[in-house]
Structure 1
């Protein structure tokens, strides 16, 4: 089961690593989108969230205080779902559908990150192939 847990962590964080690096390498484009959604200090928010995503993903991947890493992803995902994918504000049916899908993706990933947090806290080193135990 240790290997299964490691494979699950790897598969889970791949999305966040790619997204985090995109936040840092495509900052202008992503900040422009964030600004269009009303995010204040969009460039700084894009860079800060990119760093937070990468740190959380690496912590979870390596099993270094994986509980804290999972919480960092939660702190990114739920506000992002509400601020960036407010489907209830859309009037165009196609735009509304696309935003709803993104909202649901972010909330589902946030739920998965919360579950990972709970499992790491509950099982600690028993979750398998981690560098440290849980922080909390």
Structure 2
């Protein structure tokens, strides 16, 4: 096992962690989450909630395990970019600006994973 393998696994774990924690938080408070989605004027808040749960729990778990990593990372990246523009596009608010930039940085990391794959410590490698 090489340091590169551990680094790729660690990178996936750190990226997945933010989504898993957020997803389980949303799962614990559906009413609050749907109210927040509604408050920003997003259409179909219940559908948005369902999409968020789908991305933040099973897709993040797939990313962590390295399962169909390139497509998974791409889908999570698209979700993250969309949420940056939908929920954090208020540049008059410093916190929202920071959250917007955080989402862009996460998107960049996910795109790196999408291009280079999960590495050897992944289900993708076991499937080959």
Superposed displacement of residue 51, structure 1: 1.4
**Unpaired stretches in structure 2, ≥5 consecutive residues:** none
Q: What aligned pairs does 1:26-65 form with structure 2 within 5 A after superposition?
A: 26-65=29-68
Superposed displacement of residue 4, structure 1: 2.4
Could you say which residue in structure 2 is the equivalent of 1:110?
Answer: 107
Q: Is the 8 A contact 1:71 1:117 kept in 2?
A: yes
Could you say which residue in structure 2 is the equivalent of 1:101?
Answer: 98
Q: Does 1:131 align with 2:114?
A: no
Q: How many pairs were matched up? A: 122
CA distance in 2, matches of 1:130, 1:39: 36
Superposed displacement of residue 23, structure 1: 2.1
After superposition, give the CA deviation of every residue in 1:51-79 in whole Å (9 maximum; x if it has no partner): 12222211111111111221121121011
Superposed displacement of residue 118, structure 1: 0.7
TM-score (norm. length: structure 2) = 0.86
Aligned partner of residue 123 in structure 2, secondary structure: coil
**Unpaired stretches in structure 1, ≥5 consecutive residues:** 91-95
The alignment's C-alpha RMSD in Å is 1.5
Q: What aligned pairs does 1:69-88 form with structure 2 within 5 A after superposition?
A: 69-88=72-91
Aligned partner of residue 121 in structure 2, secondary structure: coil
CA distance in 2, matches of 1:109, 1:34: 21
TM-score (norm. length: structure 1) = 0.82
Q: Is the 8 A contact 1:20 1:53 kept in 2?
A: yes
Aligned partner of residue 124 in structure 2, secondary structure: coil
